[in-house]
Structures are given as structure tokens and as C-alpha cells.
Structure 1
């Protein structure tokens, strides 16, 4: 395939047109560092919660309210993420959010009373919401120039950061490091990492960044099209964006108005992302308890949660390759089927090994759901840059706030086994809503389809180093 025919079919030049391979490689590593620090900062305080509860002499009700301050802060402050990104850019917002998240959690750990604990959690949650939207927006900006899917590896890096932060906290507890010293040390460390990463992010404001097709980010992702169909009429009718060879978004040529269809699609994408988050929350909140009820003893009871997060990490490592090969929609549908079948069978035929396997299968199946939903939301027509990401992040936090009490009430009335039916229900919901995800062209990422260009493409220079 010649470069001319390739560009004609895709209506865009090679993805390395505006930034060199080195700039994009550095930016990708910088975004990975931001995702890593975001996971590590919060994971450092989680194992310290019981100690903080004891230090401040909090009863269960007050302790629960203090913990709820984190998602509450995200819900209240999350609506400001998109305007901040449009004004300052995604990278500065992500880094500033990281710094103040670290500060909030330091206050939560160092403060002399439970009020400081709750206030620090609130500040941390509010700033974490900005970081969440900012780092995803910048990751999608880098992905647009890569011309292939890389968003799932960013989320895999977040998982590594969370695991590393948890291990760091466990080590601090093991050596007897006081909570204030531990959280000041960890917060300072990850804040420095974020500041260093800022130097290597893509320069300039997102709205002024020309996409690979030469359009600005105000229009990037606003075009919509049926998978594998380059016609403009199909673009307007199908409501899904034409995919790049690897399923990465191709910025459109024009911006469409905000329509009821766009709002409906955004609502469906919010549900897909929320279902993915609900599966994670079910694992972290209830897996250990349920496996223990089935008769697991000691550390084996935690195997359900470990299996879920471990397999989810593997799924995210493999996710970009699967999306490149099969498309977002097919991968999400396959994952939803695994979630439904895996946990459905585990709940129908309860046993310790079967339930651990069921949580692991659900974790693998849910790996790409949140990244797919936020990427698709970032491409919807008629939305200002960052709006789709902000809406999804904001409403997901509401889901995180209300889902544990709902599962708990169902469990109190009918048993935890019934309460965990939310997991296969989430899989069924994703299957029903998967039409909102674009598909892309399968197998189009092969080396022979990559055009030659005056500059070396990122794929050619960086496949082995960045994957």
C-alpha cells in the first residue's frame, strides 16, 4: 500500500507529523509516571486507615464518614476539571492535582484530630478528580499522535503504582515508621516524580495542539463514523468515530453540534465505565469477606481480590494489542461475556476455588472497560475538550459512593451471595450498551500498512521500547 493511497483512505498523514518520535516517547513515559504516582499516593494511606482510626478514636460511623469524604471531594470538585483543562492544559492540571492530592493525604495522616483526617481526605479526593481527568486527557492526546491504542497500558501502570504503594506502606508498617513520617515521605516522593514528569509532557494547551490530521483539539475526536466506513454521511449517522489502523482515534475535520444522540451515548458510556468500576469495587469491598464466608481461612480469603486485580492488570497489559486487533467494541463485548459467565457460574455453584477463579475472570474481562469508555467519550461530537472525560469521572465517583451501601443492604436482606449478583449484572449491562463503542478495522495495524514518512514513525522506532 502506497503512502498516498493510505493517507487518502485514512484522511490523515502519519501520526508522527507534529512531534518527533523522541518527544512522543518521552510524553508517553511521562503520562505513565503520572498514572503510576496517582495509584501509589492513595495506596500508601490505605493500609494505615486502621491505625488512623485508632489514633483518632473514631467509631465505625464517623470513620465511614471520614472515608466517604474522599469520593465526596471528587464529586464536588470534579465538575471543574474540564474548564481547568481548557484554560491551563491537561498536563498542568494532572500534575497540580497530584501535588495537592499528596498534600491532602499528608494532612489526613499528620493532622491531630479526626476533623483533619476527614478534611485531608476531602482535599485529596477533590484534587484526585482533577488528576484523573487530566492524566487521561493527556494520555489520549499522546495516543492520537501515536496512531494506535496505548491507553490501556497507562491504566495498567496505575495498577502497578497501586501495588507498589501498598507494598511501600506495608514496608513502612513493618519497620515501625510512624504514620506522619511515612505519609510525608511518600507524598513528597511522588510529588517530585510528578514534577519531573511534567517536563516531558507534550507542550502547549490541548486546544491549540494540532491533531494528526492538522485539526486542533477543539475538533479532535468530534467526527463520528461507522467502523471501516470513510464516508461523511456514515460518519454523521453512526455516532462512532472512524478508527485509525490500530483503533486509536482519528481527529475529525469538523465539529458537530450537541445533539440528543450525543447525550444518550454519553449516558451509555458513563454506565459502561461505572459497571467497570463497580466490578473493581465489588472485589475490593466484598471479595475477601465472601470468600471467607465460603470457608477460606487466613490469607486465602484475600485471594479473590488478589485474583481480580492481578488478572485486571494482565488484561490491561494485553488490552492495547487486543483493541488494535479486534476493536474496542469486540473486546468490550468479549470482556462482558467473561464477566457474566465467570461470576455467574461462581455464584450459581459457590466454592472457594470457583469463586476465586470467578473474580479473576471478571477482573480480566473488565480490564478495558473504563479506558474504552473514557476514550469514546473524549471523541463524542459537540462536546468541548475534556467534557466527556469529566462527566464520566464525576458520575463514576457517585457510583463508587453509593454502590457499597447498596450491595451491603442487599447482603443484609438476602445474603452476600445475592448482593454480588451485581457483578454478572454489570457484564450484561455492558453487553447491552456496547453499541456505543467504535469498532475499528481488525488487523489493520500490521507493519505493511504503516506508511513511510520523512520522519521515522513512533511505531517503527518505539514498538519494543514503549510497549
Structure 2
């Protein structure tokens, strides 16, 4: 090992830890919110549809002002944007959990949506810097840390709900933890100016599609991009359903305790974490097409059986099956879109990413309105329906790559 390598390597390890901490706190934030949504809904005296509309303020903020992420990173660097935005997001969540006003709650979620979009681009941009210097893929591990943070946050939220800790004081503790972890993370991150190509790539992931690029796309490519978008939406809708509605469904319709009700979200995120750790090996062995089809089938079977034969533990198991099923669906759809022949770099990824964000905007109000008209059980039935869509459309994804024939073993 050279002297230079011995100096750089500890710096990279620290930077990797710093990025991992930011990803984890991003998951902790939503993990703490999910189990407390039934209490927040009751405190604000909202119907399911009203809660769904309020929750839609999150993606509205993300879509509306998330485009500023690239400019902020160019001006202030990804490390600063990620940490400051993460701290601002935690404080906005605290404001949302401390209010008795629906308007203030919606405004707080709008700010959370804006800052969450900035964190998303900045943490991925900095993670790409670290990955490039590492010389090998470590990005999936960062996203696994997000899932781990969501599990930890869900357990924290479930415990606080079971102990009947007021949402305000629960979120004070959550905010203190998130702020402290990000202050530690900032000291570990890479120094110096941001590489321009990484900034542009990260910003493009959060951007609206560029009209100048899209007008020249032939119809066949549009159909493939639409199929990949629906696959990503199938995974995203399941994740959003667990975050927004699983605790309410388990508490209100299946009479679970507040702590047990948190396990629906924890189950999905926990098994998604496992799926992300093992997903790359599965894709290398069987191909993205087969893995996506199996994932869609798991969502159909898991949530289909759970909704057809409702029980507390069956529903928790169903969310777990959905979690491992969707683990690689969104990254796989993004990867397939980014590598589509005939498109400029980033165009396919941008289209699929933007349509997925639009689906996150529509998901909470649609499920909420269906729940008001019928029940949450019926509203959640969209999950297995979209699992069928994933299964049927997975043919647009890459099959298994044939490995080269092994060389003869030496005598």
C-alpha cells in the first residue's frame, strides 16, 4: 500500500460512514411518523380522505421546489445541503407533530417534502463522490441504511405510541437524535468542491423531464418508459401504503394495539432491507426480469391473502412479503430506464423518476377517499392489483445475462 493510499483510505471510510448516517436519519424521520399518523389524524379530527390530502402536501413540496437541489449543491456543496436540509426536515416534522391546525400540519409537510427532495439529491450526489473514489459499487448499501433507519424509526414510533407519549414530545426526541447524527455526519464527509458531472446527474434525478429531449422520442420508447414507470409505481405505491395507512388499518379495522400496529410498516421496511442486501446477487444470477416478476408475485400473494383473510399477524406478514417483493423493483426500473438505447443519458431515468413522484402525490388522497367511501381494506387492495401489473410488465426488463463459459480447470 502506498503512502497516499494509506492517507486516503481512512478518509473514504469516514465519508462512507457519514453518508450512511444521513441516509439512516432520512429513514428514521419517516419511520417515526408512520406509527403516529393515527394519533395525528385523531388530534386534527380528519377523515381518511382529509389525511390523504394533507399527506399529499409532502410530494407537492418535493415536485414544486425539489428542482432547486442542483443549484443549491453547486452553490453550497452536497455535504452542506444534505446536512442542513436534513436538520430542517426534522424541525419541520416536529412542527407538524406539535400543531392542532390542519393548515399548519399541511404546511409543515410541504416543507418536509421540499427539504426531503434536497436531501435525496444531495446525499446521493455525495454518495456517488465516495463511490467513485472507492472504485466499486457501494450505493446499494447506502439505500439499505435508509431501510434500516426506517425500521429503527418505526420501532421508536410504535413504542412511543404504545406508551401514549404525546406526539409533540416524541418528535422532540426524534428531532434531537436526527440533528445530533447529522452534526456528527458532517464532520465525516468529503471536503472540497463538488464534481460538476455528479451534481448534474444527481439534480437530473429530481428534475422534471426536459421537453426538448422528449419531443424527439419515438412511440416505442414511450411505451417502454410507461411500462417501467408503472413497475416503479407498483413498488412505490406499496411503500407509501405501508407508511401512510398500515398503522391506521391495523388499529382501526383490526383492533391492534398502537405498538403492534407499527409492525406493519416495520415489517415491510425490514424485509425490504433484507431484499436490498441480497438483491444484487439475485439479479446477477436470475436477471432483473425474473426478480421483478417474483417480486410482483410476492406482493400479490402476500397482500392479497392478507386482505382476503384479515388478521393482525397475517397483515403484518403480508406487508413483509410485499417489502421483500418491492426491494429491487424501483432501483431496477430506474436502471433499465437509464440504460435504454436511443435516449440521451439521464432522459429515461428522469421520466420514470418524475412519474413516480407524481404517483406519490396521487396515492394518499386516492386511498383515503376510497377508505372514506368503503374501508381501508378496500383502499389497500390497490397493492395486489399493482403487483399484478408489475408481474405482467416485467418483460420489458433485462433477462439474465449469460455468463461466459468457464475456463477449463488447470490440471
TM over 0.5: yes
The aligned residue for residue 333 of structure 1 is 293
Alignment equivalent of 2:196, drawn from 197, 207, 211: 207
Alignment pair present for 1:350 and 2:338: no
Q: 1:50 to 1:364 in 2, by over 3 A?
A: closer
Distance 1:39 1:370 in 2: 17
Provide, for residues 64-97 of structure 1, a one-character-per-residue CA deviation record: whole Å limited to 9, x for no partner: 5544433322232223334544665544433232
Measure how far apart 1:267 and its partner are. Answer: 4.3
Residues 393 and 51 from structure 1, CA distance in 2 versus in 1: closer, same or farther, beyond 3 angstroms?
A: same
The answer for the alignment partner of 2:151 in structure 1 is: 163
Counterpart pick for 1:154 among 126, 142, 166? 142
Aligned CA RMSD, in angstroms, stands at: 4.4
Structure 1 regions of 5+ residues with no counterpart?
1-16, 210-216, 223-256, 447-467
Match of 2:344 among 382, 387, 391: 382
Tell me which residue corresponds to 1:213: none
SS state at 1:197 partner:
helix
Mapping of 1:23-172 within 5 angstroms? 23-49=11-37, 58-60=45-47, 65-85=53-73, 89-110=77-98, 113-143=101-131, 146=134, 149-169=137-157
Kept in 2, the 8 Å contact 1:89–1:206? The answer is no
**How many residues are paired up?**
383
More divergent stretch after superposition (283-292 vs 420-429): 283-292
Change (3 A) 1:206 1:440: farther
Gap change, CA 1:412 and 1:343, over 3 Å in 2: same
Structure 1 residue 37: deviation in Å? 0.7
Q: How many Å separate the matches in 2 of 1:171 and 1:295? A: 19
Report what 1:456 is aligned to. none
Partner Cα separation in structure 2 for residue 294 and residue 142 of structure 1: 46
Counterpart-to-counterpart distance in 1, 2:330 and 2:183: 26
Tell whether the 8 Å contact from 2:158 to 2:263 is kept in structure 1 after alignment.
no
CA distance in 1, matches of 2:196, 2:382: 39
Is it true that 1:260 corresponds to 2:260 in the alignment? no
Please state which structure has a larger fraction of its residues in helix. 2
1:396 aligns with 2:350: no
Alpha-carbon separation, structure 1, partners of 2:369 and 2:51? 19
The alpha-carbon distance between structure 1 residues 291 and 330, as it changes in their structure 2 partners (threshold 3 A), is same
Within a 5 Å distance, the mapping from 1:8-23 to structure 2 comes to 21-23=9-11
Structure 1 counterpart SS, 2:296: helix
The whole-number CA distance in structure 1 between the counterparts of 2:310 and 2:160 is 35
Q: 1:426 aligns with which of 386, 397, 410?
A: 386
CA contact (8 A) 1:129 1:394 kept: no
Report the 3-state secondary structure (helix = DSSP H, G, I; strand = E; otherwise coil) of the residue aligned with 2:344. Answer: coil
Closer/same/farther in 2, CA of residues 130 and 443 from structure 1, 3 Å limit: farther
Structure 1 position 365, deviation (Å) = 0.8
In 2, the alpha carbon distance for the partners of 1:376 and 1:146 equals 24
Larger deviation, residues 88-97 vs 290-299: 290-299
Range with bigger deviation, 41-50 or 327-336 = 41-50
Alpha-carbon displacement from aligned partner over 1:169-197 (angstroms, at most 9, x marks no partner): 45666788765555344324323422432
Q: Distance in 2 between matches of 1:306 and 1:73?
A: 26
**2:234 maps to which residue?**
275
Per the alignment, residue 373 of structure 1 pairs with: 333
1:407-439 superposed Cα distances (whole Å, 9 cap, x missing partner): 455566676665444223322332344355456
Q: CA deviation at 1:39?
A: 1.4
SS at 1:382 equivalent? coil
TM-score normalised by the chain length of structure 2: 0.72
Residues 86 and 206, structure 1, Cα contact 8 Å, conserved in 2: no
Q: Over residues 125-161 of structure 1, what are the superposed CA-to-partner deviations in whole Å (9 max), with x where a residue is unaligned?
A: 2111221233234435544555655444323321221
Change (3 A) 1:359 1:107: closer
Q: 1:71 to 1:23 in 2, by over 3 A?
A: same
Where does the alignment leave 5 or more consecutive residues of structure 2 unmatched? 205-212, 407-411
2: CA distance, partners of 1:173 / 1:319 = 33
